[in-house]
Structure 1
Amino acid sequence: MSEQTNGKATRRSPRGEAARKAILQSATRMFSQGGFNSASIADIAKDVGMTQAGMLHHFPSKAALLLAVLLEREARNEIETEAERAKGFDGLTVFLHTLRNNDRTPALVQLMTVLAAESIPDTHPAHEWFEERYETVVKVTIDHVAPMVDVKSLPPGVTVETLVRWLVGLADGLRVQWLYDQSSVSREESLAQFYDTVMRPVLKEPYRSYSWVANLRQEASQ
């Protein structure tokens, strides 16, 4: 395992990698419970059984640690998403599968929810990261969903970007409800229902003939 330092790749020892992983896990848990300001460097160092100086050897500041937590989570998401696309799944199905994969780790879902809201002020250390992330999510999703949409069927004023922003907004709003009560709603199935009822008329064949909810339930039964 290596990382970039001053433009040069440096290799971490297995012991260093284990310590780094423990710090990230602790920070993820603490930040997800109360936000960035809920835990100090001292709190996290104590939780993983090391000194503050030892922890700062791996992450020079709490802001750097927060960024590492976010990047680690996003890198894992990207790997899973690319694997889905490599299997030939279309853009809308990949979006559903991403929600399913994310919801298997509630602590990370809670982390993203808490920090996304907390980082709205531009003074927050994660503000720029979340701003760029939303721009990227919308752009990438547009690229993969656009080939599925019959633009001539779109109502006046509605674009593929409009549809994608609805999807992102719906997924994020349901995320909050799901965190309060995981038995109350399935984000994946709710989005599939949205495809079946709202998006179906503007999709090209064969996607217009899909029963997204039925396909989802068939996958679950296999």
Structure 2
Amino acid sequence: MNRGEARRDRILAAALLEFAENGYRGASLARIAERVELSQAGLLHHFKSKERLLVAVLDYRDELDASKFDMTSAGGIDALRALVGVVEHNARMPGLVQLFSVISGEAVTPDHPGHEWARRRYRRLRADMAAALRRGVERGEFRADLDAEAHADRLIAMMDGLQTQWLIDPDRVDMAAVFRGYVDDLIALLRPPM
């Protein structure tokens, strides 16, 4: 990694923390610049606006997840177990989960700079999960009559809902254990009859 890439990664990591702590609207470019020992003008040299920085941070967060968990080639039970791994990983990364939750909540309004990112992300996730479930059907792991899209929607809803509950009450909600149990139940439900 060259010096410019290293600085870019430092800026993205600092911005990720700032957005996670304060949301998009409350985040300050001056505080982000201070965290990485740059002037605000220096920060804007790398990212021309707060909107561009946010989108870069969101893409950076997705790249971090993708580097650990490849959902595009996994299928069937392996894909569902990989999702459990994602949730277990997220349970160790509350700042990332908070960023996702805050930005996703803010991005429901069409004028938010993260709105299109969120739409593309959910469409991609639904498609990837549905494809993974269909690969499970092709492998004979799951019933042929499963509705892959509906189950993909439910998996995403379960993950996002658990994240919110866990962020609000981490002492009472064991996000990883609840999701692991949900996946175990889902695998049992989707298996073909013997």
How high is the TM-score relative to the length of structure 1?
0.76
1:40 equivalenced with 2:33 (yes/no): no
Deviation at 1:83, TM superposition (A): 8.9
Quick check: 1:119–1:130 contact (8 Å CA) kept in 2?
A: yes
RCO greater where, 1 or 2, for CA within 8 Å and sep 6 or more? 2
2:18 match: 30
Indicate the SS of the match to 1:82. Answer: coil
Determine the structure 2 residue equivalent to 1:200. 188
Secondary structure of the corresponding residue to residue 113 of structure 2: coil
Structure 1 unpaired stretches of 5+: 2-12, 209-222
Picking from 116, 128, 131, the partner of 2:104 is: 116
Query: Aligned match of 1:129 in 117, 127, 137?
Result: 117
Alignment partner, residue 142 of structure 2: 149
**Number of equivalenced pairs:** 188
Deviation (angstroms), 1:185: 2.1
- Assess if the C-alpha contact under 8 Å between 2:87 and 2:179 holds in 1: no
Q: Percent identity?
A: 34
Q: Partners in 1 of 2:37 and 2:68 — Cα distance?
A: 32
Runs of 4+ that moved beyond 4 A: 83-86
Larger Rg: 1
1:8-34 deviation per Cα after TM superposition (whole angstroms, max 9, x unaligned): xxxxx42x3333222212211111112
Q: For the Cα contact (< 8 Å) 1:84–1:94, is it kept in 2?
A: no
More displaced, 162-171 or 121-130?
Answer: 162-171
* 2:128 alignment partner, one of 115, 129, 140: 140
Kept after mapping to 1: 8 A contact 2:72/2:128: no
- Tell me the equivalent position of 1:51: 39
User: What is the rounded CA distance, in whole Å, between the counterparts of 1:83 and 1:116 in structure 2?
Assistant: 21
How far apart are the structure 2 equivalents of 1:145 and 1:84?
11
In 2, the alpha carbon distance for the partners of 1:195 and 1:26 equals 34
Quote the Cα distance in structure 2 between the aligned partners of 1:73 and 1:196: 27
Superposed CA RMSD in Å reads 2.4
The residue number in structure 1 matching 2:66 is 78
Report what 1:60 is aligned to.
Answer: 48
Query: 5+ residue gaps in structure 2?
Result: none
